[in-house]
Structure 1
């Protein structure tokens, strides 16, 4: 899907993010207008302050003007509070909305997206990018409106004091506009690169810290630090360029302001000599001009905030505009019988010339076990990921109960599957919440306990301080590998799906844990269509059929005895493992 993500297109999309907060923003806008009016009212008072109090020495002005000043600043303070509170509410609300939308989108993207984009990059989009977009939409808009109203109010005061002097000073306007355009272009050039480098730094840190044991054992600390330091240095250089741009633009604004003051002094002097400008009028012009200069400076600085937000919005819109998983199925499926057919399946990953799967055909029948074996990288995991449609085949068809998988709605299809992998993913929470996960959340405690007993997990669960309500830590960190595996099996048992996928479920376990897990799997497998990816061939000797993959092709198919008698690839793999076990 091709989507226009030019800066202009992004600018057009940003206001739509604020639509849910229109009422809040209108209140904030009212506060901004009151702030600007209060600033203008104070500017209007400066002329009578000088002319009436110090020149004409009017005693009434000495009492009324101080009271008027206090009243103006009370109004301005209340208006500022309203603006800040409601602008912040809208900004934080937009950041929250973007996080939720991006998270929801990621969970609806095809599996290939997760092969091409690292999780740390996703976390940057969910974190700092969402905040930067909120700043672009609301915080920068607040500064621009606030300071623009200040400039307009002060220009009004200046025109009231002397339109001739004001028009002369306004000759600087085109110069300021040109400078702000140049600053904006430079910010755009560096803003996106800063965000990308930030994501690369997070990825490098995530890899090094997540694999800290390997880093230490293989003496890779220096190499990882060199890589991370290089990225940090690049980020520093880009950040300094952004800051230099901001600083130069501020300095130019101040210089322009100084030139403006000089022009004001020159022309105001001529007007005073002609008798068209009083001392109070001159002070009014001077104070208004001094109020405009910092407002212009802030308007220039807001470019940085705005351009960072645009760069972040571009990254987020790339995610939000991506195509969802294809889900056009219309055939409802309550519970499948479990007849699985792969017909001439081919799959080539984007950007790859060689197919990952090439011409694979087989049938897995209900109540049988189909083992899938082969060397590492032969396509075993890719093959089973076609069943839940994490990947879509480039050619051929996968059928369930005689119908293509695409005929079924994705939620219905995935309800027919339970998966137990080598890398068990548990969540920070209780034992019960991890077993009764997702659509199983409403399961009765008796069913959860039965699933835990069948999975040989109750023996260690009962020893935990809080039993079923015990916290297992992030990713189940408080449990051993075998315990985590048995919780995953209990989850699959509770789901009671007609199709079971086991992806090297015992490969990383010690012998004692493997026996417990294998016994639990023996309770889980009957009466289901089971696909088992196996590294240790001894675990699949009793499978109803064994598929041997090599370089993405199905090179052999049969029972354990048939394949051994054939003396082919399977027999060779079996002999190698037998020798390794004997050694």
Structure 2
């Protein structure tokens, strides 16, 4: 539950995922082998313990019987005398007891037996402790390796994998599912082995002592299974509703907390409280039913165990009366029947937990089996000198095989030129940049950087020469200086960080903060505005000193004055760099060397701002539409 997985979650291939999960432990064969040996010896000792205690009971009873009889006669003579006296039942019972007439309780012998029992149980406990530690060690190492595999896999997955899935879903597999799997293994692996070995060991000893009593004890096994399955199926849907209600309540609380000011502004406090009350009531009712039904498991299994106890006691008493068994053997058998029923209860209670863990493992394996991006060529090529000349030659690309997006696109961008890309939503502007960054591979044609096909370059080599600023800013928890320095591939000084901030016009607002560049911000950028966060990401790109600069709506979150300052700074920094600017606000790209107008994946127009306005085509229509919108907003 803490890991976000519900035990009712059914896996699609339980056996296959279970076998694959077991194969993950191959690297821990030695540790698991030692653990298994320790658990086997521990279970063996725990099974021997009741037999030793039963022997102590027999010694005490034999001493009490022997003390009441006259000495000077043998055991057989004493039993025969009792039988001639007409007490045949007592004689039969004493025939299974090893006593000496006239001799009382041998406390020395009983002390040795109890001491041996103490050492047996102590050894069993220590070995079980060692086995548990070894199991936890093997589990932690295995989950550690799986987490490393997931992390490595995420770095090899193409951008299309993340674009086609919710971010939280991917994170859930990499965090919650792994945590749930680890917790499940910690709680079940050692217990499953211990319970299974205990059942086998106890069953063997029970048949050794008395096959009849063993069969009597097995009579209640089907009843235990029936109780466990019925109660589990009855409580399972209520647990589902409980977790669903918990999720709804948490989502409501999070929304009301994050939008607390809006709730107050629009006077929705009472409505929010009413919704909270309804969902809280639903959670209470679901939790009550789930806990009530699942709580029936323990008393019902206890009833079955007591029923087993009664049957064993009755039949065992009859066997003692007939002399077939001693009292100590019956006592030991009753303990064994308890030991036999307890693991069965534990195994039944762990069934849903195991199913949940295997379901999490299956989700992890779906991630690990996902199709990876094409590996880099070996040996890879690289330009002799990065200058920033980019050429698209008859490029074709499709996100889906039956839906063409870019067909036969050709474009040449000279070093140091600024290329602006405009067009309606879905025209392929960002796709063009994604192809340049090799976030996606082209379907046909090729893209070259300074004459080298980027498909023959390593992705790290290609991207090291490209700085990118997206519309959606990303900051991590740390100081402002650390966030700016994130763009550098080497250690940078504070002077270089501040110079990049000045170039992006971020230095002014940073120095107004309480700690300046040492001000700590969280991953949400709390304490700085959206425009200021954008300035920090631009400073980060400037610090990377790229050959190619990509700005995807990078100035959309800043005010008009800051936008002008950024453009002036970019004009200074654009010298010697090739710049790709994706913009919807056409006023920001009037100074670009070339403006590309895209529609349906093709370049329909290209030229400078005055040339495209004079052509009175698609660009002029877009510009006029934005100008008309601006006038309407002013009016």
**TM-score interval, normalised by the smaller of the two chains:** 0.7 to 0.9
RMSD (CA atoms): 4.2
Per the TM alignment, residue 20 of structure 1 is displaced from its structure 2 partner at its CA by 4.4
Among 10, 17, 25, which residue is 1:18 paired with? 25
User: How far does the alpha carbon of each residue in 1:401-447 deviate from its partner, in whole angstroms, 9 at most, with x for none?
Assistant: 33433211111111121101222212111233222226624234443
Inter-partner Cα distance in structure 1 for 2:256 and 2:463: 34
Inter-partner Cα distance in structure 2 for 1:219 and 1:567: 51
Mapped contact 1:342–1:398 kept (Cα < 8 A): yes
CA distance 1:278–1:238, change in 2 (3 Å):
same
Per the TM alignment, residue 268 of structure 1 is displaced from its structure 2 partner at its CA by 2.9
Mapped contact 1:140–1:306 kept (Cα < 8 A): yes
User: How far does the alpha carbon of each residue in 1:288-328 deviate from its partner, in whole angstroms, 9 at most, with x for none?
Assistant: 10121111100111212211100000111111111222223
Inter-partner Cα distance in structure 1 for 2:275 and 2:402: 34
Inter-partner Cα distance in structure 2 for 1:450 and 1:100: 38
Inter-partner Cα distance in structure 2 for 1:7 and 1:53: 53
**Equivalent runs, 1:267-416 vs 2, <5 Å:** 267-330=315-378, 331-333=380-382, 336-350=386-400, 354-416=403-465
Among 464, 467, 482, which residue is 1:433 paired with? 482
Per the TM alignment, residue 538 of structure 1 is displaced from its structure 2 partner at its CA by 1.2
Inter-partner Cα distance in structure 2 for 1:77 and 1:142: 14
Inter-partner Cα distance in structure 1 for 2:155 and 2:191: 35
User: How far does the alpha carbon of each residue in 1:236-258 deviate from its partner, in whole angstroms, 9 at most, with x for none?
Assistant: 979978996x7787677656645
| Runs of at least 5 residues in structure 1 that lack an aligned partner in the other structure | none
Is residue 2:615 matched to residue 1:566?
yes
Per the TM alignment, residue 133 of structure 1 is displaced from its structure 2 partner at its CA by 1.6
Per the TM alignment, residue 465 of structure 1 is displaced from its structure 2 partner at its CA by 4.5
CA distance 1:213–1:265, change in 2 (3 Å):
closer
Inter-partner Cα distance in structure 2 for 1:255 and 1:405: 73
SS in 2 for 1:412: helix
User: How far does the alpha carbon of each residue in 1:153-208 deviate from its partner, in whole angstroms, 9 at most, with x for none?
Assistant: 3234323422343245446667878998x799979x99999999799979977995
Deviates more, 1:369-378 or 1:310-319: 369-378
Deviates more, 1:125-134 or 1:469-478: 469-478
Q: 1:149 maps to what in 2? A: 197
Deviates more, 1:436-445 or 1:135-144: 436-445
SS in 1 for 2:520: coil
Mapped contact 1:43–1:157 kept (Cα < 8 A): no
CA distance 1:250–1:218, change in 2 (3 Å):
same
Deviates more, 1:556-565 or 1:88-97: 88-97
Inter-partner Cα distance in structure 2 for 1:533 and 1:239: 56
Inter-partner Cα distance in structure 2 for 1:284 and 1:218: 73
Per the TM alignment, residue 349 of structure 1 is displaced from its structure 2 partner at its CA by 3.0
SS in 2 for 1:372: strand
Aligned residues: 576
User: How far does the alpha carbon of each residue in 1:368-408 deviate from its partner, in whole angstroms, 9 at most, with x for none?
Assistant: 11111112333222221111122233444333333433211
Deviates more, 1:434-443 or 1:285-294: 434-443
Q: 1:113 maps to what in 2? A: 161
Mapped contact 1:358–1:553 kept (Cα < 8 A): yes
Q: 2:45 maps to what in 1? A: 38
CA distance 1:200–1:186, change in 2 (3 Å):
same
Deviates more, 1:204-213 or 1:45-54: 204-213
Mapped contact 2:51–2:329 kept (Cα < 8 A): no
Deviates more, 1:541-550 or 1:427-436: 427-436
Per the TM alignment, residue 21 of structure 1 is displaced from its structure 2 partner at its CA by 4.3
Among 61, 64, 72, which residue is 1:54 paired with? 61
Inter-partner Cα distance in structure 2 for 1:81 and 1:329: 51
Q: 1:485 maps to what in 2? A: 534
Among 491, 501, 505, which residue is 2:550 paired with? 501
TM-score by structure 2 length? 0.78
SS in 2 for 1:282: helix
CA distance 1:308–1:273, change in 2 (3 Å):
same
Among 500, 515, 518, which residue is 1:469 paired with? 518
Among 126, 148, 152, which residue is 1:104 paired with? 152
Q: 1:517 maps to what in 2? A: 566
Inter-partner Cα distance in structure 1 for 2:260 and 2:386: 44
Q: 1:424 maps to what in 2? A: 473
Inter-partner Cα distance in structure 2 for 1:192 and 1:21: 35
Mapped contact 1:96–1:130 kept (Cα < 8 A): no
CA distance 1:190–1:20, change in 2 (3 Å):
farther
Among 576, 581, 599, which residue is 1:527 paired with? 576
Per the TM alignment, residue 567 of structure 1 is displaced from its structure 2 partner at its CA by 0.8
Inter-partner Cα distance in structure 2 for 1:522 and 1:315: 49
Inter-partner Cα distance in structure 2 for 1:8 and 1:184: 24
User: How far does the alpha carbon of each residue in 1:14-52 deviate from its partner, in whole angstroms, 9 at most, with x for none?
Assistant: 123334445554554454334313321321123212211
Mapped contact 2:157–2:371 kept (Cα < 8 A): yes
Per the TM alignment, residue 61 of structure 1 is displaced from its structure 2 partner at its CA by 4.0
TM-score by structure 1 length? 0.84
